[in-house]
Amino acid sequence: MLSILAQGLLAASVVAVNNGLARTPQMGWNNWNSLGCDVSEALLLDTSRKLVDFGLRDVGYNYVLLDDCWQDGRGDDGYIRVDEQKFPHGLKWVAGQLHDQGLLYGMYSSSGEFTCARYEGSLDHEEEDAKSFASWDVDYLKYDNCYHRGRFGYPEVSFNRYNVMAKALKATKRDILFSLCTWGEDYVHTWGMSIANSWRVSGDIYDHFNRPDALCSCTDAKDPFCVAPGTHCSVMNIINRVAPYVDKGAPGGWNDLDMLEVGIGGMSDAEYVAHFSMWAAIKSPLLIGADLRTLSPEALSILNNPAVIAVSQDPLGKSAALVSRNLTVPKDQYGEGETQIWSGPLYPNDQLVIFLNAANEDLEIITSLDEIFVRHGPGGSAPHTKEKWDLYDLWAKRMDTSVAKKVINSPPGTLNGVKGWYNSTETPYKAGLEAGDERLLGTKVGVAAPGEIKVKVPRHSLKMYRMRSQKGPIKGYTITRDEL
Ligand SMILES: *[C@@H]1O[C@H](CO)[C@@H](O)[C@H](O)[C@H]1NC(C)=O
Ligand SMILES: *[C@@H]1O[C@H](CO)[C@@H](O)[C@H](O)[C@H]1NC(C)=O
């Protein structure tokens, strides 16, 4: 029996834009976080070969995204021009090279007169630019929000401005994933899914775990009128900002927590593990931001963990949600510190639970099945709370650094180091989960039973478990796709 609350939650389903794309959160690489404007044809081609050679394409990273700074003004004919120094063969040629490797090609513009780096923008030239993108065989458009000539401040104003490009893309008849870079402005989480496949929920991420910065003025989503989302938002800032509306993500349209910082160098290994895990659990797009030409083995072994990617690409497409938050913990020099517990359903009948320690000390985090399953029924009323659950650690089978080193150093064009690694091109995640592939399941490390559940978590890290009922699916309570 469903509780009334659970029925209400399940009925409140989200209808996403119906272009058939992003049925699971998109994955790929984008140059901005590590390279900014330093873009070129060679960069995209070198990166595409690394994606293939490192086995990253074959755990799901299939979009190669060119960010800002490719433009060279606009011609008298109204069409945007490409910088021929940076892209001597043109962008259609680049797209062809990527497609030949089984990859997809994406690029960037702004819904403004200029882009954020002050190149030519697409505002009031949407139709010409959409035609150009389609003629270059583009598969993905990241669409920014700079220099919009004041056309924002009320949801419908932003909606209408972005909808012009959505319609222009649709009119090209090419399948182009549409990704809004709207920084959470004008309640984009309430309208983004009607016209786009993902929408940014915050100011730009920067390479810090929880350091507050004056340039990121919006601290949480309780301030919907925050007008300066900013450019220096930490991992914890973004997580807390999206927490109240994680449920807006659904197959076809996702909350975008911004591109990954993993491997760029500002955070510890454990902080990067936490960053990556939370992005996967909240169903954000997973876009590698590091320069793959200089990727460390440690970063590779975070990015290529199939047990965690299987959470991101889970067929149910349900974000984990924050079920408890403890602010009464040791703080750091910025006055920051908290612990959080996140939980959510996983295909086929599993449950994800995350113990996140963002406090300034190693801590024991305590919870119970009542808390983990609070959204299945409050106050311990869900049948799930009476069962025993095996806990599978999703980081236990992380690739050894020595193996990752071998992968990175293998001669170009060989796939030596990754033999036996999970291959989602061969076996999509859904099929792997249905077959009970142990590489996706993680390693059984314990049991969660009624009563207190205590987990030790080091400072600035997390524990992430797939829970599986020892008795099998809970009777009378099956989450099906229709109910979502
Ligand atoms: C993954 O499988 C595909 C399809 O069989 C194959 O072409 C590719 O080389 C495999 N990738 C790796 C890294 O082994
Ligand atoms: C919050 O964490 C502190 C430090 O671990 C602990 O003493 C306290 O009991 C926790 N509070 C709750 C409500 O769990």
Q: Which atom of ligand 2 is nearest to the CA of 364?
A: 5
Distance CA 241, CA 248 (A): 13
Distance 71 CA to ligand 2 centre (A): 53
**Encoded tokens for 41:** 């044809």
Together in a domain, 253 and 290: yes
Query: What is the CB-side half-sphere exposure of residue 27 using CA atoms within 13 A?
Result: 24
CA of 423 to the centre of ligand 1 (A): 6
Strand 363-367 with 350-357, pairing? unpaired
In a domain? residue 412: no
In this predicted structure, the answer to whether residue 464 has a pLDDT above a threshold of 80 is: yes
pLDDT digits (tens, 9 = 90+) for 239-274: 999 999 999 999 999 999 999 999 999 999 999 999
Tens of pLDDT, residue by residue over 381-405, are 999 999 999 999 999 999 999 999 9
Ligand 2 centre from 329 Cα, in Å?
7
Is 425 near ligand 1, meaning CB less than 6 Å away?
Answer: yes
* Residue among 62, 414, 422, 423 to mutate when testing ligand 1 (max atoms within 8 A of CB): 423
First and final CA of the chain: distance in angstroms?
16
Residue ranges of alpha helices (H) inside 282-410 are: 297-303, 306-312, 369-372, 401-409
For residue 43, what pLDDT band results from cuts at 50, 70 and 90? very high
* Residue 449, in any domain of the structure: yes
83 is catalytic: no
Q: Are 357 and 457 in contact (CB under 8 A)?
A: yes
User: Residues 283, 335: one domain?
Assistant: no
Does residue 431 lie in a domain region? no
Q: What is the pLDDT of residues 71-104, one digit of tens each?
A: 999 999 999 999 999 999 999 999 999 999 999 9
Of all protein residues, the one whose alpha carbon is nearest to atom 9 of ligand 2 is 328
Residue 327 belongs to a domain? yes
Are 136 and 251 part of one and the same domain?
Answer: yes
Q: Are residues 275 and 369 in the same domain?
A: no
- Residue 329, ligand 2, Cβ within 6 A: yes
In terms of domains, do 356 and 308 share one? no
Residues 248 and 184 in one domain: yes
Q: How many domains does the chain have?
A: 2
| 8 A C-beta contact, residue 300 and residue 272 | no
User: In angstroms, what is the span from residue 57 Cα to ligand 1's centroid?
Assistant: 9
Same domain flag for 267 and 351: no
The model's pLDDT over 51-68, given as tens digits with 9 standing for 90+, comes to 999 999 999 999 999 999
100 in active site: no
Percentage with pLDDT > 90 across the chain: 87
Q: List, for residues 345-355, the tens digit of each pLDDT value.
A: 999 999 999 99
Per-residue confidence (pLDDT) for residue 228, from 0 to 100 = 74
pLDDT 10s digits, 190-227: 999 999 999 999 999 999 999 999 888 777 656 656 76
The pLDDT of residue 474: 82
Specify if 426 maps to a domain. Answer: no
What does the alpha-carbon distance between residue 39 and residue 241 come to, in Å, rounded to a whole number? Answer: 31
Is residue 407 within 8 Å of 55, Cβ to Cβ? yes
Q: How far is the CA of 425 from the centre of ligand 1 (A)?
A: 7
For residue 192, the domain's CATH number is: 3.20.20.70
- Domain end, chosen from 290, 312, 334, is at 312
Q: What angle do CA 288, 462, 317 make, to 5 degrees?
A: 60
Token look-up 């990727």 returns 295
Residue 244: asked if its preceding bond is cis (omega within 30°), the reply is no
Among all bound ligands, the one having the nearest atom to the CA of 55 is 1
pTM summary value: 0.95
The tokens for 404 are: 């990752």
Residue 189 phi/psi, 5-degree rounding, is -70, -10
In this structure, how many other beta carbons lie within 10 angstroms of the beta carbon of residue 439?
16
Residue 8: the pLDDT is 37
Mean model confidence pLDDT for the chain: 93
Nearest residue (CA) to ligand 2, atom 14: 326
Calpha distance 5→1 (Å, rounded): 11
Identify whether residues 202 and 257 lie together within a single domain: yes
One domain, residues 221 and 293:
yes
Residue 193 placed within a domain: yes
Which CATH number does the domain housing residue 376 bear?
A: 2.60.40.1180
The residue contributing the CA closest to ligand 1 atom 13 is 55
| Span 153-184, pLDDT tens digits | 999 999 999 999 999 999 999 999 999 999 99
Report yes or no on 387 lying in a domain. Answer: yes
Whether the pLDDT of residue 376 is over 70: the answer is yes
At 477, is the pLDDT very low, low, confident or very high (cuts 50, 70, 90)?
Answer: low
Please count the residues of the chain: 484
Atom nearest to 423 CA in ligand 1: 1
pLDDT of residue 415: 73
Which domain does 346 fall in, by range? 321-397+442-483
From 292, 312, 332, give the residue that closes a domain: 312
Cβ 399 under 6 angstroms from ligand 1? no
Among 279, 312, 345, the domain boundary falls at 312
Q: Is 324 in the pocket of ligand 2 (CB under 6 A)?
A: no
- Asked if the model's pLDDT at residue 484 lies above 50, the reply is no
Among 53, 144, 186, 350, the active-site one is: 144
198 and 229 part of one domain = yes
pLDDT given for residue 9 in this prediction: 41
Domain shared by 288 and 391, yes or no: no
- Residue 376 and residue 227 share a domain: no
Structural domain includes residue 428? no
| d(CA 363, ligand 2 centre) in Å | 9
